[in-house]
Structure 1
Amino acid sequence: MGLESDINSLVKSVDLELYDTSIVREGEDTIYRVSVLSTETENGKRKGVSLDSCVDLTHLISPLLDVTPPISGDYRLEVGSPGIERKISSIKQFAMCIGEKVSINLKAVDKIRDKIRGVLTKVEDSKIFVEIDGEEISIDYGEISKARTYFEW
Structure 2
Amino acid sequence: MAELIGQQLKDPLMAKVTAIIEPSINALGFELVRVSMTGRDHNILQIMADRPDAKGNINVTECAEISRTVSALLDVEDPISGAYHLEVSSPGIDRPLTRAPHFDVWKGFEAKVELVMAVNGRRRFSGLLDGVEDNAVALIVDGERVLLPLADVAKAKLVLTDELIAHVTGERRNDENAE
Instruction: State whether TM-score is above 0.5.
Output: yes
TM interval, shorter chain, is 0.7 to 0.9
Pick aligned residue for 2:31 from 10, 13, 17: 17
For the aligned residue pairs, the C-alpha RMSD in angstroms reads 3.0
Aligned-partner SS, 1:29: coil
Contact in 2 for aligned 1:23/1:33 (Cα 8 Å): yes
Once the two structures are TM-superposed, the CA of residue 93 in structure 1 deviates from its matched residue by 2.6
1:55 to 2:72 alignment:
no
Pick aligned residue for 1:139 from 115, 137, 147: 147
Which one has more relative contact order, counting CA pairs under 8 Å at least 6 apart?
Answer: 2
One-letter identity of the residue aligned with 2:99: Q
In 2: Cα distance, 1:145 partner to 1:21 partner? 14
Pick aligned residue for 1:129 from 135, 138, 142: 138
Once the two structures are TM-superposed, the CA of residue 71 in structure 1 deviates from its matched residue by 1.3
Deviations 1:85-139 (A, max 9, x none): 2444xxx53422431431235634558xx63311x23223421123569x78241
In 1: Cα distance, 2:65 partner to 2:153 partner? 36
Aligned length: 140
Find the counterpart in structure 2 of residue 35 from structure 1.
48
TM-aligned CA distance change 1:76 to 1:152, over 3 Å: same
In 2: Cα distance, 1:78 partner to 1:125 partner? 35
Contact in 1 for aligned 2:43/2:83 (Cα 8 Å): yes
Segments of structure 2 that go 5 or more residues without pairing to the other structure are: 1-15, 163-179
Pick aligned residue for 2:73 from 64, 84, 89: 64
Pick the structure with more strand per residue: 1
Segments of structure 1 that go 5 or more residues without pairing to the other structure are: none
Contact in 2 for aligned 1:87/1:148 (Cα 8 Å): yes
TM-aligned CA distance change 1:28 to 1:80, over 3 Å: same
TM score, norm. by length of structure 2: 0.63
TM-aligned CA distance change 1:127 to 1:137, over 3 Å: same
